[in-house]
Amino acid sequence: MNSLFKKYKGTIVNLFWRTLQIGARNGFSFLIFYLSSLFLPKEDFGYYNYILKITFFITLFIDFGISVAVSKYVAEYDLVDKKKIKPLMANSIIIIMLLASVAVVIVYCSNVFLFNGRYNHIISLLPLMYFVPLTSLFDAVFRGQKRFQELSLITFGTGLISFIFFYILIRQYGLTGAFHSQNLFYLIMLAGFWLRYRIFYFKFDKLVFSETYKYVLVIGVIGVFMFLSTQVDVLFLGYYGYLTEVAYFEIIFRFLTFLMMPYVIIGHVLSPDFTKNFVVKNYQWVKLRLKKSIFFSFISSTLVCIILYYTLPFVFEHFFTKYNSADLQKMSNIMLVLIFSNMFNGFIPLLAIATGHARWGMYFIVGVGLLNVVFDYISITHWGLWGMIYVTVILKSLANIMFIGYYYNKLPD
């Protein structure tokens, strides 16, 4: 037992700290979500999630794959050329700040001149255009350098400090307070990262940019179309006036987010090792570890979904009483199929990125994203809410299973 622990000590320790970090981040995010569900009327709560979804969709175009690519290149540079890490960070910060500023101007002008102030609450979330991509960037650097302990302590500490403000803002100011709680959360998180990393080097490096920008573009496209393939449903529901159903969808989606946490954690911890073994052409190790990962995902996702089928009605009745209804129960039962396939696919996309298969993954996800948008539109306009839910579940579940098979076959022997 001791020899086994020593063999995997590094992975186990990193897994523990990464679990604490992601758990704290998602945990405090869920607390804001839950407090909002308690203090906001049902339609306001749906509207709150609809506006947040639009905002986070915009931030995808600002980050546009920078944070994910940075994690990969930091892991490589940390191994072969540490001097490139600072220029990589500087380039990334400069690009994010520029893109965020452009996005802020476009969003503000669009709201005023195109939508006549219809989306005023998005204006209150404009700081997130800067905060979200920058926190993702710092998170990526710490991951790439395997500084999981520092990452977890920063996240947990800043989340704990900010929690008291969440309650006051949401309780006292309702919907507006809920939006500003998001700004506060990411601001404090960013401040914690900055104080620990303390980067003051902001010179743009063309050489580093030329090495990384193509991969960044690939990851960026993947990120946008990943949203279209997984979360665009909320935008359709909100646009067509299903605000209460947005609330139902987001409650279920939050459970999915928590259930995906272990898979994301494992994927982030294993990714640097997959990158290093693939770079040195140790393909046998990569395929063997991937087989074990797929088997683990299948068994664990099956068990979790069985447990959920029997426990979710109790959770809805006692913790989301205001929202507990036949429609919520029906939606959750249908989406259990999607929850299973998402967990089964789990961390495989992260491993595909780690082994340099991002471009192939991009083509796959672009196809799924486009199909999802088209079928969402057709189904919601022709068959309403339930038509869109059924079509979404079928399409995404098939795509998740196909991704695993195609990726495994793409790997060299």
Q: Which pLDDT score, from 0 to 100, does residue 272 have?
A: 78
Q: Which pLDDT score, from 0 to 100, does residue 261 have?
A: 76
pLDDT average per 10 residues of sequence, the chain (413 residues) = 55 72 77 86 91 91 84 77 77 88 90 70 90 90 80 82 83 88 88 76 62 71 82 90 92 83 77 84 88 90 93 92 92 93 86 81 86 94 94 92 89 83
Q: Which pLDDT score, from 0 to 100, does residue 374 have?
A: 95
- What is d(CA 339, CA 302) in angstroms, rounded to the nearest whole number? 10
Q: Which pLDDT score, from 0 to 100, does residue 209 have?
A: 64
Q: Which pLDDT score, from 0 to 100, does residue 115 have?
A: 67
If we measure between CA atoms, which residue out of 203, 268, 236 comes closest to residue 72? 268
Q: Which pLDDT score, from 0 to 100, does residue 167 have?
A: 85
Q: Which pLDDT score, from 0 to 100, does residue 19 have?
A: 73
- What is d(CA 196, CA 138) in angstroms, rounded to the nearest whole number? 10
- What is d(CA 5, CA 9) in angstroms, rounded to the nearest whole number? 5
Q: Which pLDDT score, from 0 to 100, does residue 172 have?
A: 87
The tokens of 140 are what?
């990526």
pTM equals 0.81
Question: Residue 261 burial by CB count (10 A; 0-12/13-18/19+): exposed, middle or buried?
Answer: middle
CB atoms within 10 A of CB 289: 15
Q: Which pLDDT score, from 0 to 100, does residue 10 have?
A: 63
